[in-house]
Amino acid sequence: MTIEECNNIPRKHRKKKNLETEACRAGKGGEKETASAEETSPRGVLEMLVSGIDDKTGDLHWKKKLCHVKRTPSPWRISTISMIGGGKIPLRRRMHGRRSNSEDVGDFIMPKPSWKNFSYEELRQATHGFSSDKLIGKGGHAEVYKGQLYDGQVVAVKKIMKEEKNDEEKNGDFLAELGIIAHIDHPNTAKLIGFSSDQGLYLVLQYLPYGSLAIALHGSEDCRLEWDTRYKVAIGVAKGLQYLHSNCQRRIIHRDITASNILLSEDYEAQISDFGLAKWLPESWAHLVVSPIEGTFGYMAPEYFMHGLVNEKTDVFAFGVLLLELITGRRAVDSSSQSLVMWAKPHLENNSVDEIADPRLGGNYNVVEMKRAMFTASTCIHHLPTLRPNMIRVVQLLKGDNGLDMKQKSMGERIQMMKGDSMQDMKQKSMGERTLHIDVCDDVEDYDSPAYLTDLNRHMQLVME
């Protein structure tokens, strides 16, 4: 199927054709690109990782599992290969969204020799048989237990559940998540200690005593997070996302930025965790079209839950919701099923600081920082992705490093500034990719604010039924 044939698919059928569309976008010379993609896919990364592991340590079981997945045809691997594309990846980190494609793939592979392949028995003993009193977190796809290893190290053991998926799909997702984590190294991302595929799939992470932001912010009526701490968390998450989008060795879209997936260290340094839904995004692509649509309701951007479109602006929207949580102390979706975005928009438009600020703060906040956070959140949750800032701009806005006094700018001037960011982003794409992006997104560009709020409310009602 050619790219032109992909573009001629009726819009209502595109979601069904997303795998073929992604394969088309990989460009010409598919066989050569597929071979390169095999080397740089998450599975390929892990094969290189385990190639240096001594079989005498009992890690042969993990090698066999990798070989089994490699031999077994699966939609997961087709999707992964098409997402990776055919470009060779340099070690040099990109600073302004551009990378060379001329360096060797080997420079990109960065195994983590510090990772340990745990046995099930080690994890069972560490968590007292995965005892309920060691359970510190539970989501739709995983349970997290606090454990202590034989050397005394305290860890968090993530047990992959995903009951709705078969073993092959679970293995694929697990390898994809490990492959992505293998390339991440930043103070604002969670630290992986090891993994296990013995009697299940497990990730072993550094344990952080303060748990998740969701627990700290919503765990009790008496929230102890002062404004200075909240603002520090916001900047930390923003820096982590900037790294994933712009400074990491590959463009990584997290797809599930939520308060539950932000962990807090002893000094309240934010760490982005749970890369189970993360996607690689090839350098020249404007976006991915994914199916099924997965994520946490209340954080999903309109173009994502309506059309399956994924790029950096998907995470930007979710960050805007997270920022609103820090500002207001409210959940993304409250007990009455009301969306925080819908509740906050009128207050943001009216610049009503007193109305939107978390009453538990008791008015104890830096007004300048609060207004920065409010403005940044309002731009991040814009219904049009092209009018959302990139994470480089978000960090500048929050830190006040952009040299612009937002209080003196009209809303029109602010929008023009964001359009400038979007145009700069688009210049980094090839003309062919830009045309494809505009063709797919025609109906998204016509998605005005009232329509977005109406659809958001409708989807919420369907989910809550």
pLDDT over 70 for what percent of the chain?
61
Q: How far apart are CA 209 and CA 160, in angstroms?
A: 21
Domain boundary assignment for the chain: 3-89, 116-206, 213-464
Which entry of 173, 198, 256, 425 is annotated as an active-site residue?
A: 256
Instruction: Give DSSP secondary structure letters for 398-438.
Output: HHT-S---GGGS-HHHHHHHHHHHHHHHHTTS-HHHHHHHH
Q: How far apart are CA 180 and CA 83, in angstroms?
A: 13
Give average pLDDT by consecutive 10-residue segment, the chain, 465 residues.
45 44 44 47 46 46 49 38 29 36 33 82 97 87 92 95 75 86 93 92 93 90 88 98 93 95 95 93 87 91 94 98 98 91 96 95 96 98 96 97 54 54 51 38 48 56 47
Q: How far is CA 386 from CA 276, 313, 343, in A?
A: 26, 8, 23
Asked if 99 and 283 count as a contact pair (C-beta separation under 8 A), the reply is yes
Q: Is 345 annotated as a binding residue?
A: no
| Residue found by looking up tokens 């703060």 in the block | 361
Asked if 186 and 252 count as a contact pair (C-beta separation under 8 A), the reply is no
User: 272 has which bridge partners?
Assistant: 189, 262
CATH code, 213-464: 1.10.510.10
Kind and range of the H or E run holding 69: helix 60-71
Kindly state the tokens that stand for 283: 């350098």
Three-state SS at 307: helix
Q: How far apart are CA 25 and CA 32, in angstroms?
A: 14
Known catalytic membership, residue 455: no
Q: How far apart are CA 153 and CA 130, in angstroms?
A: 17
Instruction: Give DSSP secondary structure letters for 236-300.
Output: HHHHHHHIIIIISSSEEE-S---GGGEEE-TT--EEE---TT-EEE-TT-S-EE-SS--S-TTT-
Cα–Cα nearest to 340, from 218, 432, 435? 218
At 189, give phi and psi (nearest 5°): -130, 150
CATH code, 116-206: 3.30.200.20
Three-state SS at 86: coil
Whether the model pTM is above 0.75: no
Chain segment 130-157, per-residue pLDDT in tens: 999 999 888 767 899 999 999 999 999 9
Q: What pLDDT is attached to residue 373?
A: 98
Asked if 367 and 353 count as a contact pair (C-beta separation under 8 A), the reply is yes
Three-state SS at 47: helix
Kindly state the tokens that stand for 104: 């060797």
Q: Which amino acid is at 151?
A: D
Q: What pLDDT is attached to residue 11?
A: 44
> How many CB atoms within 10 Å of residue 149?
18
Kindly state the tokens that stand for 198: 């013995």
Q: What pLDDT is attached to residue 387?
A: 97
CA angle 58, 62, 65 (to 5 degrees): 140
